[in-house]
Structure formats: C-alpha cells, structure tokens
Amino acid sequence: MTAAREFADVMRAATPTHRRLRDALVAIATATIGIDLLCSIAAFLLERHAHQTEIHTFGSAAFWTTTQLLTVSSQIINPISVCGRILDIFMEIYAITVIAMLAGAFGGFLQKRGREIDEPRPPAV
C-alpha cells in the first residue's frame, strides 16, 4: 500500500479503521477551528485596550491565536493582560493535547492497519 492510497482510503472511509481515523481528524479539526475562533474573539476583547499591546484588530487577534494553537508562536508581544495570559495558557494546553491526540490517532491507525494487512484474508466465495 502506498501512502497516497492510504490517504485516499482515509478520505473516503474505505474500512472501519479508515473511518475512525477520518472521524478523529475531522473532530479535531472542527474543534480546533471553533477554539481558534472563540480564542480570537476573547483575545481581541481582552487585549485591544491593554497598554503596549500589538493586538488592535480582530485580524491581529486571529493571527496571534492561530500561531499559538499551531505551537509556532508569533512575533506579537502578547498577551499583556492577566486574562490574556490565562487565555494563552489555555491555548497552549489545548495545542499540546491536540498534538498528543493526533499522535495517538495515527499510532492506533498504523498499528491496526499493520494487523489488517498482515492477517490473511478469507477466501472469496
């Protein structure tokens, strides 16, 4: 099996194993987009009036929260406010948790697919 074939099988949920991985990826992506949006709104509301903040628009708040959730950080000097710092800690914990969940989902998928490929298939009737 090639990686491209496995990817296509995941996208179309070719087997229950592929479906479980696809469902996990969709759930993680959907939750992360929702968390990103909520955190962007919160960051904008919490930081926009803080002294020396670099978050003045919703776009800059969205950029900052997205980079935090991707665990790559940004050059924006934030958060400034105490509530913004609490939000940042929440986002960092969420991002680390997502990375662990992705590793577990892919690890479980690869382990299960390895067993499925190695098991002999019953003869066709």
Tell me the average pLDDT of the chain: 89
The structural domain count of the chain equals 1
Residues 112-120, mean pLDDT to the nearest whole number:
82
Residue 72 within a domain? yes
Residues 72-85, mean pLDDT to the nearest whole number:
80
Res 122 pLDDT > 90: no
In which band, very low, low, confident or very high, does the pLDDT at 114 lie, cut at 50, 70 and 90? confident
Residue 2 within a domain? no
Percent of the chain whose pLDDT exceeds 70: 93
Res 1 pLDDT > 80: no
Res 72 pLDDT > 70: yes
Residue 78 within a domain? yes
Per-residue model confidence (pLDDT) at position 120 = 66
Residues 103-122, mean pLDDT to the nearest whole number:
85
Residue 123 within a domain? no
Q: What is the CATH number of the domain that holds 58?
A: 1.10.287.70
Residue 90 within a domain? yes
User: Which domain range does residue 77 map to?
Assistant: 25-114
> Which tops the pLDDT comparison, 84 or 120?
84
> Which tops the pLDDT comparison, 119 or 16?
16
Q: What is the CA radius of gyration of the chain?
A: 20
CB contact set of 109 (below 8 Å; sequence gap of 6+):
10, 17, 18, 20, 21
**Alpha-carbon gap, residue 108 to 3, rounded angstroms:** 16
In which band, very low, low, confident or very high, does the pLDDT at 25 lie, cut at 50, 70 and 90? very high
**Alpha-carbon gap, residue 46 to 55, rounded angstroms:** 9
Residue 11 within a domain? no
**Alpha-carbon gap, residue 28 to 99, rounded angstroms:** 10
